[in-house]
């Protein structure tokens, strides 16, 4: 009988054994699901670099050893150079639209494949372009186009714009700083009691004394 009991366990023992075997599987499935959710959260919210370290080129070094002294001048001049190149190209295009439409259309088509905001890269690509002859749509004549001449023209206009920018930039920055401070004061300053709603409520106007009012006259008459 004891051997039979050992070979054939009871129902409660079978349930306990199956529950113990299922428990590790459930824990493993939960851990696998939690790891997948953590990976998805990592992909959804990538870590962004510090903008101050990126612009300052410090890389989190507070000692100042990793900072580049010429980074400000290089980045600032590079940004201004790209903007001035685009402005100079725009001005040359406006001049060509009045004088020579064939060259204007050619330069406009060239700017579509080579953006002027690239700065020196745009000028170098224009200098490397080979000369060509295009037919004038109005006069039906062949127009010789020299890209190097257009590049030198853009460089001359860009130099003039740089001189104008260097002259007007200090005064412009001073006026802009004052305008920003004035706008901030107008939006955030208030007079005494203006923050209280009860003080901003309209007050009742005092009506003048009415001589025909008997209710007020009786206080001043003698009996």
Domain limits of the chain? 71-187
Residue 131 above 70 pLDDT? yes
Orientation of helix 101-113 relative to helix 147-188, angle to 10°: 70
Instruction: Write out pLDDT tens, residues 187-197.
Output: 888 654 555 55
Domain spanning 71-187, CATH architecture? Orthogonal Bundle (1.10)
H-type alpha helices, 100-190: 101-113, 120-128, 147-188
Distance CA 97, CA 105 (A): 8
Percent of the chain residues past pLDDT 90, beyond the cut = 41
Distance CA 19, CA 6 (A): 20
What is the model's pTM?
A: 0.54
Give the mean model confidence (pLDDT) for residues 155-179: 95
């Amino acid at each position: 009988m004891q051997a039979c009991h050992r070979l054939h366990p009871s129902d409660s023992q079978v349930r306990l054994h199956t529950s113990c075997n299922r428990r590790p599987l459930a824990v493993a499935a939960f851990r696998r699901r939690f790891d997948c959710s953590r990976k998805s959260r990592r992909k959804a919210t990538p870590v962004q670099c510090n903008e101050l370290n990126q612009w300052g080129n410090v890389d989190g070094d507070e000692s100042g050893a990793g900072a580049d002294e010429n980074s400000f001048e290089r980045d600032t001049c590079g940004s201004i150079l790209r903007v001035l190149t685009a402005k100079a190209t725009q001005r040359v295009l406006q001049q060509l639209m009045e004088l020579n439409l064939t060259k204007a259309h050619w330069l406009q088509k060239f700017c579509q494949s080579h953006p002027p905001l690239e700065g020196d890269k745009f000028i170098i690509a224009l200098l490397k372009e080979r000369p060509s002859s295009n037919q004038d749509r109005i006069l039906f004549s062949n127009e010789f186009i020299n890209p190097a001449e257009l590049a030198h023209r853009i460089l001359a206009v860009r130099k003039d714009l740089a001189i104008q920018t260097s002259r007007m930039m200090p005064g412009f920055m001073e006026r802009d700083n004052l305008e920003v401070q004035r706008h901030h004061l107008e939006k955030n300053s208030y007079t005494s009691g203006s923050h209280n709603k009860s003080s901003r409520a309209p007050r009742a106007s005092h009506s003048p004394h009415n001589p025909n009012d008997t209710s007020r006259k009786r206080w001043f008459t003698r009996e």
